Amino acid sequence: MRKLNFFALVSLFFVTATFIYRDAAALHQVSNSFQPGVNYVVIGAFAVHQNAIRFTSHAKSLKYDARYEFNPNRGLYYVYVLDTRDRERALSEARRLRVESEFIDAWVYGGVLGDDSPGVDINPVTEGQLGAVRHEGTASGTSNTSNAEVTASEHVTAQHQEQTPVASTQASSREVLPGQASREVEDAALGKRFIFELYRASDNRTVDGDVQVIDTDRSRKLATYKGNEPVRVASPASKSGNITLISEVFGYRKVQHDLNYNDPQGPTIREDANGNVIVPFELIRLQRGDIAVMYNVYFFKDAGVMRPE
């Protein structure tokens, strides 16, 4: 009787183990059959690997699921936040990012990143293929005589990269020589350095607040930046380069500055030793008779700022 029970238990264990093995094999087969989507919402493209890593980290800090992959067809590292087979979903997300985030030149890449198969860069607004972008020459000895650089908010807006045949075709497009050229690419990718000085007119005391950056040509908000600290402001990528800076700190009158991004000049605008463009915002408290729209204001928490000086 004991022998029968023993053999029954052994048989049950064998059958259970067989089913577990078959289930595991099935799961492995399913995972192997998974293929990545062919539509990527791209927020930046870089010739320098380290810049792609840095920009991916920046996007992650903004709560985006950012990743990057090398695109051998463009010779660039693409940083993307969405990977989907649904082309309409990708186009919709790229349009949303252009309006609601600092990634104002987001676009869609149709193809498989990391693969040599041809792909296409798509403008989410026109839904047509993006044209060629400006490119800069590289140092002699590399295989490319030109590299497309991204010029959107803290990155390069790359659509296509023109390449000229040279004698040696074995050099890798991933090679980037260190030095001044790399530093210039990094600076251009991250944007121009600004410091928005917010201070009270009555006693020059620093005031906490934000500054909105508006694309004057398109009347579109580009981003919001913290005051009184160094920030990187992305190029508006417009024909004129004109931008509007607006400070609407609660309890103070609205202050607005209009300037040109490419050549920021003004009576009070200056540049410090570190190359930061200093834009001062002299804030004046709201006076009796002033009209101001206030959002998310709670009396017990915020009413103190309304007391007379």
Parse the chain into domains and list their residue ranges.
Answer: 39-188, 191-306
- Please state the rounded mean pLDDT for residues 166-186: 42
Q: Is the pLDDT of residue 301 over 70?
A: no
% of the chain with per-residue pLDDT over 70:
62
Tokens of 294: 């206030």
Considering the chain, what is the average pLDDT of its residues?
72
Q: Is the pLDDT of residue 125 over 70?
A: yes
Q: Choose between 22 and 298: higher pLDDT.
A: 298
pLDDT at 99 (0 to 100): 84
- Please state the rounded mean pLDDT for residues 244-254: 90
Q: Is the pLDDT of residue 116 over 50?
A: yes
Q: Is the pLDDT of residue 282 over 90?
A: yes
pTM greater than the 0.75 cutoff: no
- Please state the rounded mean pLDDT for residues 132-153: 36
pLDDT at 297 (0 to 100): 63
What CATH number belongs to 191-306?
A: 2.60.40.1120
